[in-house]
Amino acid sequence: MAPAVPTAMARPHFIGIGGAGMSGIAKILATRGARVAGSDAKDSETAAALRALGAMVHIGHAAAHLADDATCVVVSSAIRDDNPELAAARERGVPVVHRSDALAALMTDTRAIAVAGTHGKTTTTSMLAVSLSTLGLDPSYAIGGDLDVPGSNARHGGGEIFVAEADESDRSFHKYAPEVAIVLNVELDHHANYASMDEIYESFETFADRTVPGGTLVIAADHAGARELTSRLRGREDLRIVTYGEAADADVRIVGIAPHGLTSEVTVLLGGDQLTFTVSVPGRHYAHNAVAALTAGTALGIPAAELAPALASYTGVKRRLQLKGSAAGVQVIDSYAHHPTEIAADLEAIRGSAADGRVLVVFQPHLFSRTQQLATEMGEALALADASVVLDIYPAREDPIPGVTSALIIDAATAKGADTTAEHDKNAVPDRIAGMAKPGDLVLTMGAGDVTELGPKILSALATVES
C-alpha cells in the first residue's frame, strides 16, 4: 500500500516537469495518488509517460497553467524568478517547494541511500536500484537519468529502501537524512555556486553530517578530494566511515579489474573474504561505482554474496555510454560526460573497446561558467580521442560570458596535438561525421546538452553513405 501523500503535495504543480529530477518526483507522487500537474518548455516522451500516470502536463509556461486548487508549486534551481507560473504562485500565496524538499519528504520513514559526488551519481544510483530490484527488495528510487525507457528514472516500491541521487550543484543534498551516504569523488565544479574547494568540502561535510545517527558514510579511498573529506570527517560521533577502492588502506579493497570487451570482472576483499563479480558496463570508473554500490548495500545488511551477482543485472542507463546503434560498420555511442574527469574516463573506457578502430567525438560544452574555469582541462581530455568536433556551448540556464566560447577548448586540445575542429552548425554534424568515419570506428556524442539528439541523425547519415 502506498504511503499517504503529504497534504501539501496532494495537488502539486511542477515547473519544468520533464526534467530528469523533477519528473522522477512527479512520477512517485502520481503513483502514490497525488493529482500531479506541471509544465515544460517542450513535449517529450517523459511528458507522455507522466500523462499515462494521470498527470496533467502543459507545454509552454503560462500563469493560466497553475490550477486554482494547486497545493504547492515545485521548482528546481534552474527555474528563473520571472517564470510566469512561479510569479502567479507567489501572487496567490501558493507555497513554493524546492525539488530537494519534495524528494526529502518522499524519503521520510524509509531506509535511505543518498548517492553524492562530482561524477558517477546516476550510474551508482541506477546500479543500486537495479540490483536491489533483482533481489526482490522492491526499492523506491529517484535517478537523474532513465534506465531503459522514458519515465524509468523513478519508481515507488513497496520495500523499505529508497535510493536517491543527491545533487551537490546547488547544495540541495543538504536536505536529505540518509541511513547510508555515498561520496564517490569530490572535485571543483558548479562554479556559479562554489568559489573554492574549501566551499566544496564544507558542503560535502554538511551532507555527511546529515546522515542519521549510527549511519554509514561510504567514500572513495582512491580520490584525493574524497580522502581529504574523509580526514575532515574522522572522529565524528555516530558516523561510521567505510572506504572503498584500490588503495592499500581501503576498507573494501579492489584487488583486480579485468576488462572483457564491454564488461569487467571485479575482485574485492570485503570483511576478510575475496569476492569476484561481473560489471556489465566497460571501464574502471564503472567498476568503482559498482563497488561503491556493493559497499552501501552491505551497510544496510544485505549479504555481499547476494548483492554482488545482482549488480551484473545493471546494463547501463541512458546517456552513460549508451549504444545508439550501428551503421556502415560504425558504432554510435552517447555519453553524458561534460566535466574533464568524466570525458577522460569515458574515452579511456571506449578506447579499451575500440580494437583497431578510431574514437571520434562530437563534444558540446555545457555551461559558460564551467567552460570558463575548465576549458584547458576539457581540451586536454579530448586529446584522448583520435579526432573531435566541438560544438558551441550549450547555455542551459546561463547567460553568455564575454570571451568564453568553444574556441578555448579547441585551442587547449590543439596545443596537446589533438585533431580538434569547431562546428557552429549542429545540423551539419551528421554529414560531417559520416564523411569522417570508417568501418570499425566508434563515434561518441558527448555532453550534457542536446547533443544527444545527434546520435540517430548520425546513424541515418552513415546509412545513406553505406547504401
- Residues with catalytic roles: 121-122, 165
Q: Which residues are paired to 327 by β-bridges?
A: 330
Sequence ranges of the binding site:
117-123
What is the C-alpha to C-alpha distance for residues 209 and 297, in angstroms, rounded to an integer?
20
State which H helix or E strand residue 239 sits in.
strand 239-245
Helix, strand or coil, per DSSP, at residue 362: strand
Name the one residue in this structure whose C-alpha cell is 493560466. 64
Sequence ranges of the binding site for ATP:
117-123
State which H helix or E strand residue 216 sits in.
strand 215-220
- Which residues neighbour 125 within 8 Å (Cβ) at sequence distance 6 or greater? 115, 141, 142, 143, 144, 163, 164, 165
Nearest CA to 362 out of 454, 456, 459, 446 is that of 446
**CA 174, 177, 183, 189: dihedral to nearest 10 degrees?**
-10
What is the C-alpha to C-alpha distance for residues 353 and 14, in angstroms, rounded to an integer?
41
Do β-strands 12-15 and 140-142 pair in parallel, antiparallel, or remain unpaired?
Answer: unpaired
What is the C-alpha to C-alpha distance for residues 427 and 453, in angstroms, rounded to an integer?
10
